[in-house]
Every structure is written in structure tokens, then in C-alpha cells.
Amino acid sequence: MRAAVVTTFGGPEAVEVVETEVPEPGARQVRIKVAAAALNPVDAGVRSGVFGGAGERLGFGWDVAGTVDAIGEGSAWSVGDEVVALHHGPVKPLGTHAEYVVVDTDAVAKAPEGVDAVHAATLPLNALAAVQALEFLELTPDQSLLVTGAAGALGGYAIQLAAHRGLSVTALAREKDEELVRSLGAAHFTAGDGGGFDAVLDAAVIGEAALARVRDGGAYMGVIPNAAPASVRGVRVGEVGVLADGARLAELVRLVEEGVLTLRVAETYALDEAAKAHARLAEGGVRGRIVLVP
């Protein structure tokens, strides 16, 4: 099968598409024939060596939408099931940017009804990160939340999930994105200063500048491990370490089917164009997710 990998760290030109063996599922695992897989900023980090693994062959991709085509002993799924899943971990020999991928059975959920695989593939990583971040923040409906990077994939899901919970959400984004973030459920918009929020979900990774907008004793949630600023003024600081959770993913699928969550595809590329997809991601300004199709 074909898979996108990196063997020498670098820019988008370091991405290779190679032939490799089809993986076999073990106990409590399933193999998915990939129909679509999203490209995320974490993949750029893998490519450039942020997570280590020098000298190894590293695969790309966390999100997948496709069809179960083989199962291991103890799997809860059946061959032919249409699913979505999160393939956790930045340092792995094969990711979801491949024709087949093996994942743990507990990382899988039924694909959303009435949604094509390209759109479904944008759900797992970013929506799970958003919901897990909101759980850390422990906000009640009478409290306020600032979401930085609000027009991005993670930020957009965070707005919709928070608004669905009755929170007052302020979106921090570029002025040209105001209409977009308001359509996702942001009650307020800012492109500049302002503070006093009960919590900040820092999807834009602006660190101390975002922390400064939290009230004394509030909460800050970062989205990159080991990159959060130090706590000040009694602010509780955390970082989302996204966990594969098929049960929670199934709840997010239900919210897609109910129209609560919007699946946004920025562009699609063939798997053989993986390097071009990385180059597009590096340009910035992507609204939604770039998706690879084998």
C-alpha cells in the first residue's frame, strides 16, 4: 500500500509517499480502508522533527474516515462498518495518511449519517481536542470564554461546543473572519485587546498574550503539550493532551448529525500530492481542514 512518511526532517519537500506492507490488526484492533484523512498542524510538527524520532520512518495523520476491512480478536466492529477514528500519537511508523490503517477498537465510532468521508475525516482530532479542553476549563453557563484562533478547525469546534453548552463565547480572529465565527455561534467578536474572561482556550497558541486576558483565578487551556505559559495571578493553566475516545467521538458524531457541529473542508489533495498539501498548510490562512484522499 501507499503511505505518506518522512525519513529526514525538513519542509514540505521532505514528505515522501512510499510503498509499504498493509498492516494487520491485533487483538482489540481494527484495520480501516482509508477513504479520507485530515492534515493537521501536528503533522507539520512531525515533519520538522518537533516530536523527535530522528533516523526513523514516521507516518503522518491522526484523523481517518473509512471502512472496516479486517478485525482482530475482541473487536467490537464488523467488516464493512463505515467509521471514523483517531489514530493517536505523533511518533509512529504509519499514520492515517495511507491506504490502510490499524487502530484500537476503542478509538473508533460510527461515521456520521449523511456526511461524505472527506468531511467526516475533519472531525476526530480537532473536535476531541475541543471537547476535552472544555472539560478541563469546567465552565458553567453563566461564565465567559475567549477562543483564540477562532476561525480555525479546533477553534470553530470549540465555539460550537461551548455555545451549545450555553456559554458566552468571544471569538478572537481576523476582522475578515468575523462573519464566519459569529455563524459558528460566537456571541462576541474581537480582533484586538480586552480581558477579564473566566477562561481562554488558546487555539492560536499565542501563550502569555492569551493568558493576560484571563481574570484572576480563571483558567487557561493550551493546545500544544509543554508549550503553555506559567501560571500567574492564580490562573489555572493546562494543555490538552488529546486522547483517543471512541465513546466521546460517538457523541460528537451525534452532534454532527443534529447540526450542532459544522464539518469544514478547506481543500482536498490526492495522497500522492501529500507534499503539496503540506506546502499549502504551511502557507497559513486555512479555514477548516485540508484532507487527503488515497
Within 10 angstroms of residue 75's Cβ, the number of other Cβ atoms is: 22
Query: Are 94 and 175 in a shared domain?
Result: no
In a domain, 255, yes or no: no
Q: Is 216 inside a domain boundary?
A: yes
Residues 290 and 78: their CA atoms lie apart, in Å, by 29
Give me 46's grid cell. 512531525
Tell me if 245 is assigned to some domain: no
> Which of 287, 281, 269 is closest to 97 using CA atoms?
269
Residue 249 lies in a domain: no
- How far is it, in rounded angstroms, from Cα 187 to Cα 136? 22
> pTM of the entire structure?
0.96
Question: Are 32 and 59 contained in the same domain?
Answer: yes
- The pLDDT of residue 225: 84
Are 22 and 63 in a shared domain? yes
Mean of the per-residue pLDDT values of the chain: 96
Kindly report, residue by residue over 81-123, the tens digit of the pLDDT: 999 999 999 999 999 999 999 999 999 999 999 999 999 999 9
Q: Are residues 114 and 174 in the same domain?
A: no
Residues 101 and 49 both lie in one domain: yes
- Number of compact structural domains in the chain: 2
Please report, rounded to a whole number, the percentage of residues in the chain having pLDDT higher than 90.
Answer: 95
**One domain for residues 116 and 196:** no
Whether 75 is covered by a domain: the verdict is: yes
Q: pLDDT by residue (tens digit) across 55-75?
A: 999 999 999 999 999 999 999
- pLDDT at residue 155, as a whole number: 97
Instruction: Using the structure block, give the residue that is written with the C-alpha cell 485587546.
Output: 193
Residue 244 is assigned to a structural domain of this protein:
no
CATH number assigned to the domain comprising residue 117 = 3.90.180.10
226, 135: one domain:
yes
DSSP three-state, residue 9 = coil
* 239, 255, 281 - which closes a domain: 239
Do 154 and 224 have their domain in common?
yes
Q: In this structure, is the dihedral angle defined by the CA atoms of residues 201, 284, 66 and 4, taken in order, positive or negative?
A: negative
Same domain, 39 and 107: yes
pLDDT the model gives residue 192: 80
Let me know whether 39 and 117 are in one domain.
yes
190 and 109 fall within a common domain: no
Alpha-carbon radius of gyration of the chain: 19
- CATH classification at residue 205: 3.40.50.720
Q: What is the pLDDT of residue 227?
A: 85
Report, as an integer, the average pLDDT of 127-144.
95
Q: How far does the chain reach from its first CA to its final CA, in angstroms?
A: 10
Residue 160 within any structural domain of the chain:
yes
Predicted confidence (pLDDT) per residue in 213-257, tens digit: 999 999 999 998 888 999 999 999 999 989 999 999 999 999 999
For 253-292, the pLDDT digits (tens) are: 999 999 999 999 999 999 999 999 999 999 998 999 999 9
Asked whether residue 61 is assigned to any structural domain, the reply reads yes
**Grid coordinates in use for 137?**
476549563
Answer yes or no: do 89 and 198 share one domain: no
Range of the domain at 289: 2-123+263-293
Please tell me the predicted confidence (pLDDT) of residue 193: 81
